[in-house]
Amino acid sequence: MIPRNCSFPVHDWTTLSSYWHPVAFCSDLSDRPFSVTLLDEELVVYRSAGGIVVARDLCLHRGAPLSAGWIEADEIVCPYHGFRYGTNGRCTKIPAHPDAPIPAKLSLQTVLSEERYGLVWACLSREPRSPIPQFPQFTDPTFQHFHFEALDWNCSAGRSTEGFLDVSHFAWVHAGVLCSRDNPVIPEYSVYPSENGFGFEYASTYANPINSDPGDAEGLALWRRLYELTVPFAALLVTVYPRGGQLVIFNISAPTSAKRTRIYKLYARNFDQDEPLERMRALENRIYEEDRFVMEKQRPEELPIDLHEEVHIRADRASIMYRKALSGIGLGRTFTA
């Protein structure tokens, strides 16, 4: 069912609702329900003995938000008239009429949910079009994994995901951190299709301060970035340093609405595992803040899927492929997330 005040064209919403999106970190879950918005749909999320519950944040009695209620004896209690809902979603008690039969229709409107990689994923459709995107390093024991807080940006998920795949902005947006303005030239790189998206590899000659490996005497070394994009909004980046260290960033943009996005960032590394995360957190915050500054200002907010709408250069191979991939799953010409 299309949500009220849906900010997407109906066809785009239907397409996006059939993919898995993250809605919370598992570590945020408790027996205190909270609300989260995905694709303009308000959801309630909580943990019960029977597992996690993700449901529409709506009591079918009089439309109160269940996220304002509480959990008691493993049941969620609506704050308005105290109706209770059990782990199977069915209403178990109407306090005003404890002996009356409970209408069958009175139940939670749960959506598909799953915990993976420390995230809660949800799919608003009963029939997901593809599996939850892959993050293979998560189960590799040689990798340490961690995450920083999610970010809420006033931009579309398409713009934010494309920004993560963009290779020619480093010298400009992240000058002095990921590249320098004296080093803006982008080498040739190629893009290859994969099962649910595409991948590409790109070589950089600018030392990355997140890594303790200094490269050569000038701090310059060839390090590789390998990208894997899973439609619509999951981007995995493996940075391979000269001495074999790998830093992995799994960047997933969850569309809150057509012009607002919550970005979840998961990390894995097979080096420097004793190094405290504070320095990296500070650098990452700076980098993402630099990105946000541009991405919230891009117009149109929607990602133009029609390739004639914006002008492309050779370095944009990845973003051209991205727009084609979104078009390939059926999103509209000017895609509003």
Q: Which residues bind ligand FES (CB under 6 A)?
A: 59, 61-62, 64, 78, 80-81, 83
Find, among 44, 47, 49, the residue nearest to 29 by Cα: 47
| Shortest spacing between CB 92 and ligand FES, in angstroms | 12
Given the complex with Fe ion, which of 228 and 291 has the nearer CB atom? 291
Contact 294, 196 (CB under 8 A): no
Length of the chain: 337
- Cα–Cα distance measured from residue 216 to residue 203, given in angstroms and rounded to the nearest whole number: 16
Return all residues near 106 (Cβ < 8 A) that are at least 6 apart: 60, 61, 83, 90, 91, 94
The interface partner of residue 62, options being Fe ion, ligand FES, none and the CB cut-off 5 to 8 Å by kind, is ligand FES
Given the complex with ligand FES, which of 64 and 307 has the nearer CB atom? 64
The interface partner of residue 78, options being Fe ion, ligand FES, none and the CB cut-off 5 to 8 Å by kind, is ligand FES
106-125 residues near Fe ion, rule: CB under 5 A = none
Find, among 309, 311, 291, 290, the residue nearest to 300 by Cα: 309
| Shortest spacing between CB 84 and ligand FES, in angstroms | 9
When asked if residue 291 is in the footprint of Fe ion (CB under 5 A), the reply is: yes
The interface partner of residue 291, options being Fe ion, ligand FES, none and the CB cut-off 5 to 8 Å by kind, is Fe ion
Sole residue written with tokens 């590394």 = 269
| Shortest spacing between CB 54 and ligand FES, in angstroms | 18
The interface partner of residue 80, options being Fe ion, ligand FES, none and the CB cut-off 5 to 8 Å by kind, is ligand FES
- Cα–Cα distance measured from residue 287 to residue 271, given in angstroms and rounded to the nearest whole number: 21
| Shortest spacing between CB 174 and Fe ion, in angstroms | 6
| Shortest spacing between CB 68 and ligand FES, in angstroms | 10
Given the complex with ligand FES, which of 79 and 209 has the nearer CB atom? 79
| DSSP conformation letters of 266-306 | EEEESS-TTS-SHHHHHHHHHHHHHHHHHHTT-SSSSEE-S
Interaction pattern, residues 247-286, with Fe ion; x per rule: CB under 5 A: ----------------------------------------
Instruction: Point out the residue whose Cβ comes nearest to Fe ion.
Output: 291
3-state secondary structure of 39: coil
Contact 137, 248 (CB under 8 A): yes
When asked if residue 162 is in the footprint of Fe ion (CB under 5 A), the reply is: no
Piece of the chain touching Fe ion by CB under 5 A; list 95-103, 107-115, 278-286, 290-298? 290-298
| Shortest spacing between CB 287 and Fe ion, in angstroms | 6
Given the complex with Fe ion, which of 57 and 291 has the nearer CB atom? 291
| Shortest spacing between CB 32 and ligand FES, in angstroms | 18
| Shortest spacing between CB 109 and Fe ion, in angstroms | 38
Tokens coding 273: 């595992």
Find, among 317, 157, 119, the residue nearest to 235 by Cα: 157
3-state secondary structure of 85: strand
Given the complex with Fe ion, which of 36 and 266 has the nearer CB atom? 266
- Cα–Cα distance measured from residue 216 to residue 292, given in angstroms and rounded to the nearest whole number: 32
The interface partner of residue 165, options being ligand FES, Fe ion, none and the CB cut-off 5 to 8 Å by kind, is none
Given the complex with ligand FES, which of 57 and 228 has the nearer CB atom? 57
Tokens coding 212: 């303790």
CB hemisphere CA count around 29 (13 angstroms)? 20
Contact 244, 223 (CB under 8 A): no
Query: Which residues of the chain form contacts with Fe ion (CB under 5 A)?
Result: 291
